[in-house]
Amino acid sequence: MNKLTLGIGARKGEEWAKPEADRALAPYPVETTAHPYPLYPFKLTQTQSGKEYRLTLGVQNTSGFVIPKGNAELELVSVDSKGNSYYQTLKGPDSLTSKAALLSFSVSIPAEAEYVIFRSRTLRAE
């Protein structure tokens, strides 16, 4: 597969390492500077709700253009501590999204996520 993906740590109390300038340290595309995604994550929270967990992902429109209603798609894969993965596709946004606008998406998952893999893309106009 020739897809770019972004993993987001979700473990409680986890601190993210500061990005390094040296490309040799990361044998993958420098996604955090190239912004290959129209909706780029800036926040991830999860809370327990009964037997399920609620993931809330905050994203920003980094595409450089206005995104029409329903013209983007988000793919989320959450992985629990046992290695089980849960794939979800979300359509959005619900309204016109201006440049640099902040949005939030929430989903329910059956187990606490150790990490989340995220991907977004724009859809072709119908």
CA distance 78 to 112: 9
Which residue's entry shows tokens 């119908």? 126
Residues 6+ apart with CB under 8 A from 93: 67, 69, 70, 72, 103
Give the tens place of pLDDT for each residue, 9-30: 555 555 555 555 544 444 444 5
How much is the pTM? 0.67
- 6-12+38-122 belongs to CATH 1.20.1280.50: no
**pLDDT of 124 strictly over 50:** yes
**pLDDT of 66 strictly over 50:** yes
Three-state secondary-structure class, residue 16: coil
pLDDT computed for residue 48 by the predictor: 94
Q: Are 59 and 44 in contact (CB under 8 A)?
A: no
Closest CA to 29 of 1, 5, 9, 7: 5
Q: What is the domain partition of the chain in residue ranges?
A: 6-12+38-122
Give the tens place of pLDDT for each residue, 104-122: 999 999 999 999 998 888 8
